[in-house]
Structure 1
Amino acid sequence: MIDLIKVYTKNNCPQCDMTKTVLEGEGLEFQAINIEEDNGALEYIKSMGFQATPVIVAEGVVPFSGFRPDKLLNLK
């Protein structure tokens, strides 16, 4: 099981909301980080080459973006 899942989100993002809903439904703990409120987080995901949210970062998993239920279920 993954220790900490970070979900980089922004306001009014349906894909972000769906991602958090899937994680909650699977009982997975995560930290939601709003890039509109945290400039450092925005720069961090940009430095990894991402331009859209959500971005999911977890130990031992290649970071990915978008609503990806298939990848989210593999975080268990």
Structure 2
Amino acid sequence: MAITIYTKPGCFGCRKTTEKFTEAQVAFTEVDLTAEPAALEYVTEELGYSQAPVVVVDDQFHWSGLDPANIVRAITFARQEMAG
């Protein structure tokens, strides 16, 4: 499982989201949407999001914006995967 967090510089929600995953010691890849045009196209055109951060856990589990409940779900899911 590979969690990807699409962020923008200066984005409060982006910073808080990455902090939560870091604090939980759950690995993720951070992609700067302002530096990666293909990533921006993916989250806007394919996933349909217009707000950063966009967190992609897998094809069915993804969201945009600062969402504490989904962050907890994703961390729990990642820990189960690591243990499993």
Q: TM-score, normalised by structure 2?
A: 0.82
How does 1:1-76 map onto structure 2 within 5 Å? 3-47=1-45, 48-59=47-58, 61-75=60-74, 76=76
1:5-58 deviations in whole A, cap 9, x for unaligned?
Answer: 100001110100000000111111000000100000000001111011000001
Compared CA separation, residues 72 and 10, structure 1 to 2 (3 A): same
The structure showing larger relative contact order (alpha-carbon pairs under 8 Å, at least 6 residues apart) is 1
Q: Supply the AA of the counterpart residue of 2:16.
A: M
Runs of 4+ in 1 over 3 A off after TM superposition: none
Structure of greater Rg: 2
Partner amino acid for 2:49? F
Aligned CA distance change for structure 1 residues 26 and 60 (closer, same or farther; 3 Å):
farther
Q: Select the structure that is richer in helix.
A: 2
The answer to which structure has the higher strand fraction is: 1
Q: Please list every run of 5 or more consecutive structure 2 residues that lacks an aligned counterpart in the other structure.
A: 77-84
Q: What's the C-alpha RMSD, in Å, of the aligned pairs?
A: 1.1
Structure 1: 5+ residue stretches without partners: none
Identity of aligned residues (%): 26
